[in-house]
Every structure is written in structure tokens, then in C-alpha cells.
Amino acid sequence: MKGNEAIAEAAINAGCLYYFGYPITPQTEISEYMAKRMPKVGGLCLQAESEISAINMTMGAAASGARAMTSSSSPGVSLKSEGISYIAGCDLPCLIVNVQRGGPGLGGIQPSQSDYYQATRGVGHGDLRLIVLAPSSVQEMASLTAEAFDLADTYRMPAMLLADGALGQMMEPVDFSLFKKREVPEKEWAANGHGGKRKKNIINSLFIDPQELENSVVARYERYKKVEENEVKYEEFMTDDADIVLVAFGITARVAKSAITAVRESGIKAGLLRPITLWPFPKKEIGALADRARAFLTVEMNMGQMIDDVRLAVGGKRPVDGYTRTGGIIPSVDEVEDKIRRMAASL
């Protein structure tokens, strides 16, 4: 199954009944799949007139307490940013999928990870965070979609699945029976009228009184703190004795794994820490590795964005270098291998 299709099927399995989209390469298969499947499960797939409409429709559906999602690729996600900020300000759970392509501007259509900053820092105005999940296989495109809905509902906040064009387009086997479902809280806050039997809920992100606004933001950050304490996800690969620790997410983590396996054959002790949640970032875990490893290397399809988070986590204890390709180019295993060898030689 294609990665994009796996996202769509997993969302439907997770009880998502509302999908709003607008076509853009390389994620259009999500819309296509939803258009075919949603009517059959009693859900709604609607192609909005723009990305901006799609995100605001998602907000409306989420406000009613339904599981709702939208998807796009980089330039389209920029268009959605205002809506995402409103959704965060309204404390609404929903899923936003970004199957990244090269940027800035219209950029290109080939795979990229250059929206890392956008996803983890500046996805919209105001003090806000998104839970950001970074799949690395088609299986994870599915499992993390399900997990994103559960996390969003648990913490009453939007979640983003940050994939890339390669993961969206590639095919791998997927097993949909492998997911664990979480117990999620009742949506007592939902603005669904409650059959007129009790007081209406109001969902709002406007607070004219600064003190009131500060209180609402501080309360939200208390929840963010819980996410940071409980929901960090990552994978470690051969880090136990590693001198050089690579940090990579998504498709580049797989390139990194191949490169590590290759350099290990010539005795270079390299390992990988793969963040699965980009926010919350596995900073404690990377910090702990900084006590035993001698150097760090990020592998990214951007000009070096996650490297900032790795440097913060390493806290100046070890050198942190980056191997980056951008514009839609996937770094090759040979290039990464070569970079590791050069680093090992200078240790």
C-alpha cells in the first residue's frame, strides 16, 4: 500500500468521519482514497475551495466533537497556518497531515523535511505547540495516524503527522491490526448542542482581557508539560557503544540506518537515535547519550533545522555536525557513509 493510502485507511479505522482537503502533490492520494472510502463508512470527504477553507472546516467538525482531519503538502500547510493557530487557541483536537515537498515558495514536488521549523516552532501565530509525529515507514504512516488522533483527544490539542513525498508515494506492506488504541476522555466540551438538554458549550480563542488570555495560555502550557513528560517517542539503533550518534527522522533515518550498518562492518561505532515525536523532542535521551558518545551527526533533508534541537539537547558537551541535502534530494547511503567515515577519522 502507498504511504498516503495508509494514512487515509488508518484515519478511517481510527474513527475519523470528516476529511477536508485540497489537492496538492505529493499527498493527493489521501484525498483520492478518502473520496472513495468515506461515503462507504458514513463519513464525509469534502474537497474544499482552498486549503484555508479545508482547515476551517476541520476546525468546525472538531468543535462538534468529531474526529476530523485535513492534509496537504508544504505550501498548502502554510496556507492553513492561521486556522491551525485558531484550532490550538480553541483547544480542539484534530489531525493535520503534511507530506512535505521542497520549498520555500512553490518549491518543488520532490520529498523534503524543510518544514521542521514550521511544524515544531512556527506553525501559526501565538504561544502554541502541536504534537508532531514523524513516521519512517508506511507501517508508521498508519500506526502514527491512529496514535495522533488518540494523542490529540487525550490532550485536547491538534496533532500533526509530518511525513515527506517519498513516504507518501512509496509502497510497503502494512498491517492494520497492530495498533494499540488508547482510552480517550469524553468530549464534554464539544459544541454539539447536547440535544438542548443542558447549557451550550462555547468554543472561543478571543480573550480581550490580557489577564484572562494569559491564564488560558498558561493553562494550555500545563497540558503541554504533561505531553512533554509522558509522550516522547523515539527509536534507538546500535547506540549502546556508539562513538558517533546520528540523529535523523522520517525517511532519512532509514538512509542513516543503512549507512550505520555499512560503517559498522569496518569497525566504526556509529548508532542512530530516531525521534518519532519531533515535539515533544527526545531531548533527555539525546542529553544522556551525550555523556557516552563522542560526536553527533544529524541527517536532514533541509539546510539543518533539527540540528538546533539536537544542539540544545547535547548542551555543548559534544560537537554536533549535520549532513544535509535539500530541494527534494534524498541523501544517498554512500554520502552519509562517507560523512561518518570522515567524522570517525577526525575523532
Partner 1 sequence: MTTTMIFAGSGGQGIQFSGKQTAKTAMHQGKNVTFLPSYGPEMRGGTSNCTVVISDGEIGSPSVTSPDIAVVMNLPSFDKFEPRVKAGGLLVCDTTMIDKKTERADIDTLCVPASELASENGLTGFANVIILGAIIKKTGLFTFDEFLGLLVGSIPESKAALREKNEKALRMGYEF
Sites of contact with partner 1 (CB under 8 A): 25-26, 109-110, 165-166, 169-173, 251, 254-259, 261, 330, 332-334
Q: β-strand 18-21 against 44-47: which pairing, if any? A: parallel
- Determine contact, residues 259/312, Cβ cutoff 8 Å: no
CB of residue 62 to partner 1, shortest distance in Å = 31
Single-letter amino acid, residue 42: G
Q: Distance (Å, rounded) from C-alpha 221 to C-alpha 209?
A: 19
Query: Residue 297 forms beta bridges with which residues?
Result: 246, 321
**Is 3 or 280 the residue whose CB approaches partner 1 more closely?**
3
**Is 48 or 333 the residue whose CB approaches partner 1 more closely?**
333
CB of residue 82 to partner 1, shortest distance in Å = 29
**Is 301 or 314 the residue whose CB approaches partner 1 more closely?**
301
CB of residue 258 to partner 1, shortest distance in Å = 3
CB of residue 253 to partner 1, shortest distance in Å = 9
**Is 204 or 332 the residue whose CB approaches partner 1 more closely?**
332
CB of residue 174 to partner 1, shortest distance in Å = 10
Alpha-carbon distances of 8 from 20, 27, 153, 268, 332, rounded to whole Å: 12, 11, 18, 41, 29
**Is 54 or 255 the residue whose CB approaches partner 1 more closely?**
255
Q: β-strand 320-324 against 234-237: which pairing, if any? A: unpaired
Q: Which three cell numbers stand for residue 337?
A: 557513509
- Determine contact, residues 122/85, Cβ cutoff 8 Å: no
- Determine contact, residues 58/69, Cβ cutoff 8 Å: yes
The vertex-257 CA angle with 252 and 258, nearest 5°, equals 100
Instruction: Tally the residues of the chain.
Output: 347
CB of residue 263 to partner 1, shortest distance in Å = 12
**Is 25 or 201 the residue whose CB approaches partner 1 more closely?**
25
